[in-house]
Amino acid sequence: MTMELRHLRAFLAIAEAGSVTRAAARLHVGQPALSRTLRQLEDHLRTRLVDRSTHHLELTAAGRAFRDKAAAALAAVEVALDPRGLTAWPLRLGHTWAALGDHTVPLMRRWDEAHPGVPLELRRIDDATAGLTRGAVDVALLRGTVTVSGIATRLLLREERVAVVSADSSLAALPQVTLADLATRPIALNTVSGTTTMDLWPPTARPVGAIEVANTDEWLIAIAADRAVGVSTTATPRNHTHPSLVYRPLVDAPAVPVVLAWREGPGHPAVPDLVALACEVVAGGGEDEGGTP
C-alpha cells in the first residue's frame, strides 16, 4: 500500500497523545479507522511502532526512532507547501533559551543587511534540540554537549556558570557560591532543555534532592519561591532580573559550550552563511554571552 501524509500524521498524533482514543479525537476520526492507519504504517515498515501490551500505550524503540523522522518529513512537506516560500524561503533558527544572548540582536541585524531576501525567523522550542531533529527548524543554538546522531555542530563560545537563589536564601549573602554550598538545598532541574544534571556534583556530594520542571518559566518560579536553587549561565541575570532572584558566580563548575547545530545532508542553502556570520559576530566581541538553565 502506498504511504501517505495521513499515515505520518496519525502516528505522530498517537505518539503525542499517548492514546489511540485521544489521538482519534484530536484528528476528528474514528478510533477503528486510526488503528487501521497505524497498522498499515507498521506493515509497510515491517516493524511494530507502538506497544499495545501495557495499560499505557508506549512507543517501541523503533517507534521512538521513527518519530523524529516522521516529524522531520512532515515539517519539510509543510515548508514546501507554504505559499510564502514561493517568494522567500525563511531560515528558521531554533533555541531553547536566550538564543545567542547579547549577540542575538547584532546577529539578526547583520543577517537582515547581508541577506534581505532570506528572512531569519527566531523560534523558541522547549525540547532538547530546539526542534531540530523533528524538522521544526533548520538550525539551532544549543548548549551543552550534543550527542544526537546526524547533527553537525560548530562551537561558538563557552559560558560561565552562575548560581541562582531566592533573595530570601542565606546563600544570597555570599559573594560567590560553590557546588557544595548548593548541595544543601534541592536543585531545580529543567529536564527538557536544561544543561544541569546531578552529574555536575561528585557522586558522594550530590544535592539533598531535586525539583524537576519542564521549561524555563517553571524553573525560575521554583527558585523565586525558595523551593529550590538553580545553576545557569551568565545570560540569565541579563534576561531575567527579578527582585526575588539573586545571581552569584559558581566558581567550581565547568563552563557550558554554546554551539550552532544543523542536520547533516540536504537542508536550507543559507545554513552555511548563518554559521559563518554567527562565528563573525561572536568573534567580533563587544557583546556578552548568553545562557540557559
The domain spans of the chain are: 5-81, 83-158+256-286, 161-249
Grid cell of 234 as nine digits: 551568565
Q: What is the pLDDT of residue 286?
A: 45
- 60 burial (CB, 10 Å; 0-12 / 13-18 / 19+) is middle
Q: Is 5 helix (H, G, I), strand (E, B) or coil?
A: helix
Provide the CATH number for the domain formed by 5-81 in this structure: 1.10.10.10
pLDDT tens, residue order, the chain (293 aa): 688 889 998 999 898 888 888 888 888 899 999 999 999 999 999 999 998 776 678 899 899 888 888 888 887 787 777 776 655 789 999 999 889 988 999 999 999 999 998 999 999 998 889 999 888 899 999 999 898 888 999 999 999 999 999 999 999 999 999 999 999 999 999 998 889 999 999 999 999 999 999 898 999 999 999 999 999 999 888 778 889 999 999 999 999 999 999 998 888 999 999 999 999 999 986 444 444 44
Q: What is the pLDDT of residue 290?
A: 41
Q: What is the pLDDT of residue 289?
A: 40
Instruction: Give me the phi and psi of 187, to 5 degrees please.
Output: -105, 130
Q: What is the pLDDT of residue 1?
A: 66
CA-CA-CA-CA dihedral for 263, 268, 272, 278, to nearest 10:
-90
CATH 3.90.950.10 fits 161-249, yes or no: no
| Superfamily name with CATH number, domain 83-158+256-286 | Periplasmic binding protein-like II (3.40.190.10)
How far is 21 from 142, CA to CA, in rounded Å? Answer: 35
**Identity of the residue numbered 7:** H
Cβ contacts of 134 within 8 Å, gap of 6 or more:
67, 68, 71, 72, 75, 127
Q: Is 56 helix (H, G, I), strand (E, B) or coil?
A: coil
Q: DSSP letter for 250, please.
A: B
On the question of a common fold for 83-158+256-286 and 161-249, the answer reads yes
